Structure 1
């Protein structure tokens, strides 16, 4: 039986469905690394979560490094609206503001022992997020940032031969991260060279550099460093925590509904945990593969590295704090947090670290 009311309801539903489809926001995100990288895999999981939480009204299109602009122009392209989003490590933009280093890769755990979990505690509950939200205005860019992937501690890196001391290290040209982290290497006499992840293996093969760091066993193995170098040092101090972030153009973000903005926040918080969980298992599998199937040898980092690097890091932090008020404010916040949290967290981890090392040693 024909029912005009039923037809009217159906037409209204179709109209609402069509309206929702028309209202879809597509955010193109250019990464600073190749599409096959682990970080991009986790970025895609975040994008999938957002799309599910918004019922498809917000969709991300992940673009590889260089798809629209060069790696170094990524943040500027987001700021101008040339692309809607970018994905990188915020310390890449330390040239725009020194405090970017304290969010992307606080050198040597900000000098106060912040690992990735302690950093996350500061970020979510110790005032870090509020300071992070201020960073973009301090930097002068029209950007909304989301921290997605706190990783660490990173490995010292890959070497052509074993190094017994810093004197051996200083003989090598070493790929190091940009910004304050790389500068500390230069300050202790290491010939530090900054370059993108995709450029490292070709540089090693050509002999442009002799040794390198990128991150951890899984991402390192994806880039293929084990093809050239066989000596691997897990204990590094330069990036005890390093965070990969999403940047969205401020006008695009402001155009989202409150519900869509909440979906981004919820998915970002989920990503913080998922990225750490994913990396522990993936790095474990990769390290096992590297040592068992690729002839990679693990070594302990020379003890003089830690004292030399920490001294350089402390000097760099103090100089930046003296020179920039916002940097000083962020660093003071991290130090205030560390005074409360680190004595507990470092002490609590010691027993588990010792137990874990004993188990690892038993496997040799």
Structure 2
């Protein structure tokens, strides 16, 4: 090799080396592209807890990606009705949604497994099952046929049993009761004589006020007080046995998800889990005060009778057997949930239950009166 040839090649190599930092920029940009998605929420903006989960997700993603991954959140009805948010995600109308799987019960009962099933999990148990018991993966195996992928994005904890225009003292009182209650839960109560109605959150109050329905379940004290149900249906029952640990989820169009860089997928999952945990903590913090306010403004607290709870439990088992015969995807998920559920409630009878029960006794006996 002559000297001129060597210098020419060295110069080219040196120039390339010197430009290394400049050349690296496009590669980095390719790894972290600018992405803008739309998220359809199933909830009204007035519910800062559950609707706020979508906004929190958008904020966390933007912060974690230096503003390169942006999501614009739209409340129920702004793009599609709240109950259509999941389907709008699968068909590509929006890139993602924040919703509850059981809203799609009518399309496929197995959608409900990612949200909640009556008499299965508390929120804490559901999180254990989702993150360590394979729940998320099983749900996504099912969702693949609908061009969707999903990650938990919130939980309310055990919900209340809803608002009633008249007292419910026995099974006879359920006969012909028109109640806003979605999906699988409605099918369970239908066996006890209830006439289930699927109504979006924003339409519940006027339906109760006009007497179109006799009862409605929503979430719990903090959200319910915002909607003013106690003014038109004063009897407030508990527990909402159909929603012991209802998971709100982020649903993403599978095609859009597959195009994301792996780093963005990881950040999305991490932010979703943060929202999932934070929503539950927020409800746990706000509900105690809200319940006291509800009682002060006219709500009359009632617990479901053992007769109603036992009959509802048996009705749920009948529904699970029926649906499992009809739907293999539901059966696969449900049976996996049962394996963990049985161990969970056996364990819960030890330390956790004993501690909580003791503290509740102290509270009732006046031993937890705060000073000052």
TM-score by length of 2: 0.86
State the distance in 2 between where 1:249 and 1:132 align: 14
1:31 matches 2:41: yes
Higher alpha-carbon deviation: 64-73 or 195-204:
64-73
| Number of aligned positions between the proteins | 349
Q: Aligned-pair distance for 1:29?
A: 0.6
* Contact 1:238/1:309 (<8 A) preserved: no
Structure 1 runs not aligned, ≥5 long: none
> Secondary structure in 2 aligned to 1:164?
coil
- The alignment status of 1:56 with 2:67, answered yes or no, reads yes
User: 1:320: which partner in 2?
Assistant: 323
Could you tell me how far 1:168 is from its partner in structure 2? 2.3
- What residue number does 1:300 align with? 303
Residues 138-179 of structure 1: CA deviation (Å, up to 9, x unaligned): xx2212211111222111111223322222233532211x21
CA RMSD of aligned residues (A): 2.6
Distance 1:157 1:72, change over 3 A: closer
Matched position secondary structure for 1:241: coil
Is 1:116 paired with 2:123?
Answer: yes
Matched, 1:225 2:236: no
Instruction: State the partner residue of 2:7.
Output: none
Q: List per-residue Cα deviations over 1:220-250 (Å, max 9, x = no partner).
A: 1122212212221122211112111111112
Which residue of the partner structure matches residue 349 of structure 1? 352
Q: Work out whether 1:237 is the aligned partner of 2:241.
A: yes
Equivalent residue, structure 1, for 2:132: 125
Q: CA deviation at 1:266?
A: 0.7
When residues 359 and 191 of structure 1 are mapped into structure 2, their CA distance, relative to the original with a 3 A threshold, is farther
2-structure distance, mates of 1:201, 1:158: 10
Equivalent of 1:86 in 92, 97, 102: 97
Aligned to 1:252: 256
Structure 1 position 16, deviation (Å): 6.5
Give the alignment partner of residue 198 of structure 1, picking from 199, 202, 223: 202
> 3-state DSSP class of the match of 1:312?
helix
Unaligned runs of 5+ in 2: 1-14
Q: Deviations over 1:256-305 (max 9, x none)?
A: 2111111011111212211111110111121121122x122212222211
CA distance in 2, matches of 1:310, 1:16: 59
In the alignment, is the contact (CA less than 8 A) between 2:37 and 2:71 conserved in 1? yes
CA distance in 2, matches of 1:254, 1:52: 22
Aligned-pair distance for 1:324? 2.1
